[in-house]
Amino acid sequence: MWAKKTLSILIAFTLALAAQVWQAQPAAAADLPDIIVASAVVTPANLSQGTDFTLQLSYKNVSSSDITNVLLDFSDAVDVIVPGGGSTVSLADVGHGVTAGPASISLKYVGSAGNDRIQINFMYSKAGVAAETTTYFYVNASATSTTTPSQPDTSKFKPMIQLTVLGSKSVNAGDSTDITLQIQNVSSLYPAYNISLESAAAADSPFTSVMFTPSALIPVIMPGNSVVVRMTVNTDKFAANGDNVLPVHLSFANSWSDQATSDAKVVLSIVNPNTPGRIALVNSSTIPAQVKAGSGFAITFVISNNGTLPVEDIRVTLDSLSPDTFALTSGSNCIMLDSLDGRNGATVTLNMRAGALMKTGSYPLSFKIDYSDEKGTKTTGDAQQLWIPVNGLDAAAAPVDDSKNVPRIIIRSYSLDPSLIKAGSQFKLGLEFMNTHISKTISNIKATFTVADSSSDTGNVFTPVGSSNTFYIDSIAPKKSVKRDITLYTIPDAKSKTYTVTFSFEYQDASGNPYKSDEIIGVPVSQPARFEIGEPAIPAGVQAGQPAYISFDMYNLGKDTLNNVKMQIEGIDSQPKSAYYGNFEPGHDEFVELNVTPQETGDITGNIVVSYETPSGEVNQTVKEFTLNVAELPINMGGEGIVGPDGKVISGSGDGKGQLIGPDGNPISTGGTGAGFFQGVVFKVIAAVVGLAVILMITLYFIRRSKKEKGIEF
């Protein structure tokens, strides 16, 4: 019974003591020093006891303030003394972010043979306050060795920098826009020094210039911290609406002054209130208003720029002239204009003759139009038509006096607002109807418009809004005109083309004689492009330098075929880097799989950029961003140790403790319970107490057995 009680007390004592020792362990320090050793060169390389040597020391101020009154103190350097007495050496002041030296310091080695770590203390003033930083350098005191201790590749111990847009991502075409960027060091271990940013935009980028404020180097960003900068972006006034990628190149250094770079992709949304210049022929009229077959006439029209941006080098050419239809009687068939500002036009008159054998009706006069914008982008072969009413040979069998001529209605001019109609939208059709008769008034006019094209699902291409397809005009005097505006709705599934609209008129003259006539106009319609990139399938557990597969779908959700579809991957290495897919019919779905290989750790952002052409020749771009979470590069905790720029061991200190040491020489907590635990204070205390308990139990067992043999019970 006594043995059992004794054992219980020992176990309780062991657990209490272990808990007390465990709680007494200090937390790992994480503060960084003000000064680090950039380089320390010992001459001669091999020392023996009593050897004089020279230390060439370069040191860097990694704090945010200037450091003055710098002294190097050797009082704690047990194996090194300063010849001539004393323990301090004066050094030059050093500004923040600046590396000073090398300073040449004469010393004497008084230690024994073997590799030796020498402690030195920087004493200085920072912002008027006295401060001190402890660091180390190494000497090789082996009399026989001539090998310099190998140094690790410290370039792999680099910070991870990410760039994020704070607030609005919109920029206005033709303007300068300020964008707020956050530069974040997402590494948990390594500071970033001397960070700089610059634009990596290509020559054909819509972003014509990029400037960062502040423009100077950012001195330091500590692990987990961030700074905010302003990026001023000038955007080309011709830039198309939509998302565009602005590449930004970042340069920085780690604590060992190893240079590193990172490329970020900033996606900005361009808003362009301008419309490209577009030439249209409008407001046409003829003299006489009713052209007679075989007779001459003059046609007047306006070459109009319907966009807000200027156009240049305008060339309007009459096409398909023929003696049987229309021929020029004077002048050239080519009209040249140097330029036209936005929303402006130029009036042109051509003298022509109608073919002698033409029958009564409206005939098209065809033109081809070429022009350029301010950037030199050319538009060629744009076909347009003006319609000319002709009174042909079938109008009357014999000459009659004017009082008996048939009065006619023509569409003298028409306009579209907007000039290019989008399927699924409304537009205003402006019409001018003219009575061509020289003396007769026409009245009781009924006008009906029809469109031959329709959809089995949604009906007629154009539907009147707030009215029917028929309207009434009371009367039109001789040689006079009447204007009407009609609001029409375009069905969503209308194809991109010019639709023919027929206006049918029923009217009568003053004597009550009924008449009928038809007029035709053309209305261009375009389908909005709807190209989408599906959400990418991103794998988990991606490792730096290892391939990973990303897949996604590309869809043409519009009603028109999209031409010259090309995909490109930006921001990350991939196979393929780009691909050409040709044309996408409506409803086409393309599955894409990429093999990407990230070279850095952390959140790596890439962009899927797809460009394509619409049937009207407009080039559009769709951008889809994706992010890979790449595991941080593992650090080897074993080995003989890695020496930092300040002379301290970074990992696997060589004595088997497995403790990770940062650039400041302080231990970094890794959260693990590896070999360091089994050689720490806690483990040793627990092992000693448990061993003592085992020995005591064995002793009690033999004492009890001896007593029992003698007949004594306890």
Q: How far apart are the first and last CA of the chain?
A: 8
Residue 653 lies in a domain: no
How far is 603 from 152, CA to CA, in rounded Å?
A: 26
Residues 57-83, mean pLDDT to the nearest whole number: 85
- Domain boundaries, position 372: 275-395
Residue 461 lies in a domain: yes
Q: In what order do the strands lie in the sheet with 514-526?
A: 421-422, 514-526, 497-508, 442-451, 470-476
Model confidence over 443-459: pLDDT tens digits? 999 999 888 775 556 56
Query: What pLDDT is stored for residue 560 in this prediction?
Result: 82
Whose tokens are 């006594």? That residue is 2
DSSP-derived pairing of the beta strands 562-570 and 602-613? antiparallel
pLDDT-derived band at 505 (thresholds 50, 70, 90) equals very high
Residue 647 lies in a domain: no
User: Are 182 and 144 part of one and the same domain?
Assistant: no
Q: Which residues of 649-679 are buried (b: 16+ CB within 10 A; e: fewer)?
A: bbbbbeeebbbbbbbbbebbebeeeeebeee
Question: Which of 251, 271, 291 is the last residue before a domain boundary?
Answer: 271
pLDDT-derived band at 701 (thresholds 50, 70, 90) equals low
User: Are 66 and 102 part of one and the same domain?
Assistant: yes
Question: Which of 271, 298, 327 is the last residue before a domain boundary?
Answer: 271
Query: What pLDDT is stored for residue 687 in this prediction?
Result: 60
Cα–Cα–Cα angle for 76, 81, 85, nearest 5°? 110
User: Are 39 and 143 part of one and the same domain?
Assistant: yes
Which of the listed ranges 23-27, 336-340, 395-399, 646-650 does the model predict with the highest average pLDDT?
Answer: 336-340
Q: Which candidate, 240, 270, 564, places its Cα nearest to that of 375?
A: 240
Please check the confidence at residue 588 and state whether its pLDDT lies above 70. Answer: yes
User: Are 432 and 498 part of one and the same domain?
Assistant: yes
Question: Which of 395, 422, 453 is the last residue before a domain boundary?
Answer: 395
Please check the confidence at residue 690 and state whether its pLDDT lies above 70. Answer: no
Query: Any residues with CB less than 8 A from the CB of 212 and at least 6 apart, and which?
Result: 197, 198, 229, 230, 231, 232
Please, which contacts does 240-243 make with residues 24 or more away whose CB atoms are closer than 8 Å? 240/206, 240/270, 240/272, 240/618, 240/619, 240/620, 240/621, 241/270, 241/271, 241/272, 242/269, 242/270, 242/620, 242/621, 242/622, 242/623, 243/267, 243/268, 243/269, 243/270, 243/621, 243/622, 243/623
Residue 19 lies in a domain: yes
Higher-scoring residue by pLDDT: 538, 670? 538
Model confidence over 343-364: pLDDT tens digits? 899 999 999 999 988 988 888 8
Query: What pLDDT is stored for residue 580 in this prediction?
Result: 87
Query: What pLDDT is stored for residue 86 in this prediction?
Result: 67
What's the CATH number where 280 sits? 2.60.40.10
Please check the confidence at residue 324 and state whether its pLDDT lies above 80. Answer: yes
Higher-scoring residue by pLDDT: 299, 30? 299
User: Are 313 and 252 part of one and the same domain?
Assistant: no
User: Are 176 and 148 part of one and the same domain?
Assistant: no
User: Are 374 and 322 part of one and the same domain?
Assistant: yes
Burial class for 404, CB neighbours closer than 10 Å (0-12, 13-18, 19+)? exposed
Query: What pLDDT is stored for residue 700 in this prediction?
Result: 65
Q: Which candidate, 58, 29, 61, 659, places its Cα nearest to that of 649?
A: 659
User: Are 418 and 486 part of one and the same domain?
Assistant: yes
What's the CATH number where 468 sits? 2.60.40.1530
Query: What pLDDT is stored for residue 704 in this prediction?
Result: 64
Please check the confidence at residue 217 and state whether its pLDDT lies above 90. Answer: no
Average pLDDT, the chain: 79
Higher-scoring residue by pLDDT: 706, 613? 613
Residue 652 lies in a domain: no
Least confident of 160-164, 268-272, 587-591, 688-692: 688-692
| Total domains in the fold of the chain | 6
Residue 230 lies in a domain: yes
How far is 320 from 328, CA to CA, in rounded Å?
A: 11
Residue 658 lies in a domain: no
User: Are 556 and 592 part of one and the same domain?
Assistant: yes
Q: Which candidate, 615, 575, 557, places its Cα nearest to that of 567?
A: 575
Whose tokens are 């028409």? That residue is 414
Q: pTM score, two decimals? A: 0.39
Residues 518-537, mean pLDDT to the nearest whole number: 87
Query: What pLDDT is stored for residue 210 in this prediction?
Result: 93
Residue 570 lies in a domain: yes
User: Are 238 and 284 part of one and the same domain?
Assistant: no
Higher-scoring residue by pLDDT: 493, 483? 483
Higher-scoring residue by pLDDT: 285, 111? 285
Tokens of 380: 């060629």
Q: Which candidate, 118, 101, 103, 116, places its Cα nearest to that of 149?
A: 116
Residues 538-552, mean pLDDT to the nearest whole number: 83
User: Are 314 and 366 part of one and the same domain?
Assistant: yes
User: Are 262 and 168 part of one and the same domain?
Assistant: yes
